[in-house]
Structure 1
Amino acid sequence: MIMLKKKEREKLIFEINITPLTDVMLVLLIIFMVTTPFIIQGNIKINLPSAKAPSEASLNKNIIIAITSDGKMFLNGNSITDDAELLQGIKNEINKTGNTTVIIEGDKMAFHGEMVRAMSIAKEAGAEKLAITTIPDENKKGTSIR
């Protein structure tokens, strides 16, 4: 061990270099920002019905109501407990995004009444366009209606 004189020890300045830590934190932040939208929509288990005219709607800024087979509703990935909460949530999303298109992702085993109730609440909240998502059925050939 090197022995330093008292004057030399006082001149030494101890610093921690945080540049590598900052680099790692920024990379992690970017990874979380990119993967979060996929995680939010991926947790809701919905078995979509098939149709011969698949939807081509962009899902970026649309308001999405998901209905599971047991009747649970989600608004943009957030659980909804009652009709008033759904109504207020849709109104808030319309005011925030300015988009009046509501997409309903209903499980094919969900009750028809739940879908109609969600559509009715969306219209009451100010939605101008309603859409129901499906998955394309390769066995059925058809033309899309525009």
Structure 2
Amino acid sequence: MGMAVGGRGGVKAEINVTPLVDVVLVLLIIFMVVTPMSPQGKDVPLPAAAQGEHRDTPPEPLVFSLTADKALFVGTEALPDTSRFQERMREELRAHPERRLLLKADETLTCGDVLEVLHHSRDAGALKVSLGVAVKKTH
């Protein structure tokens, strides 16, 4: 901030906004770069598989997760019960019918727990659901 003292006009205060604009632009660039790299869905340890599905330009799937304590998430939003889960799935499928679905289930869950969620998603209108796995690294 600069101040001119003396002269005919008395005290004159001017605000220099250039440093503020510089800081805001740097923050904008940082957020633009970091946001696409943020992980999707709830972070759960995935079961291992010998191979996984690879696509050149995959469309962003709708990620829903089942944690070890059997809590359901769509993205990072916790859903209190299966009826709310099915309602949310119907909303997403109506809005984007071509969107892929990805279930990330904790590796400690039983097959029955995962099947139950798959049945709920089928009842909501999902025809195909991919299962998230951690691919084993072979040497």
Among the aligned pairs, what percent are the same residue?
26
> What is the rounded CA distance, in whole Å, between the counterparts of 2:12 and 2:96 in structure 1?
52
Counterpart of 1:52 in structure 2 is: 50
Contact 1:104 / 1:132 at 8 angstroms: preserved in 2? yes
Quote how far apart the aligned CAs of 1:112 are.
2.3
Quote how far apart the aligned CAs of 1:48 are.
0.7
What is the TM-score of this pair, normalised by structure 1?
0.73
Contact 2:102 / 2:129 at 8 angstroms: preserved in 1? yes
Moved more, 17-26 or 47-56: 17-26
What is the TM-score of this pair, normalised by structure 2?
0.77
1:22 aligns with 2:21: yes
SS in 1 for 2:108: coil
Ranges in structure 2 where 5+ consecutive residues have no aligned partner: none
Using a 3 Å threshold, how does the CA distance of structure 1 residues 14 and 98 change in structure 2: closer, same or farther? farther
Counterpart of 1:136 in structure 2 is: 135
- Note the 1:54-133 alignment, pairs <5 A: 54-56=52-54, 61-133=60-132
Q: Deviations over 1:42-94 (max 9, x none)?
A: 7x341111112213267652111111112111111211111111111112222
Q: Which amino acid aligns with 2:6?
A: L
Name the structure where helix makes up a greater proportion of residues: 1
> What is the rounded CA distance, in whole Å, between the counterparts of 2:23 and 2:95 in structure 1?
33
Counterpart of 2:6 in structure 1 is: 4
Contact 2:40 / 2:63 at 8 angstroms: preserved in 1? no
1:41 aligns with 2:27: no
> What is the rounded CA distance, in whole Å, between the counterparts of 2:98 and 2:15 in structure 1?
49
> What is the rounded CA distance, in whole Å, between the counterparts of 1:99 and 1:107 in structure 2?
26
> What is the rounded CA distance, in whole Å, between the counterparts of 2:5 and 2:40 in structure 1?
62
Ranges in structure 1 where 5+ consecutive residues have no aligned partner: 140-146
Aligned residues: 135
Aligned-CA RMSD value: 2.9
> What is the rounded CA distance, in whole Å, between the counterparts of 2:119 and 2:99 in structure 1?
14
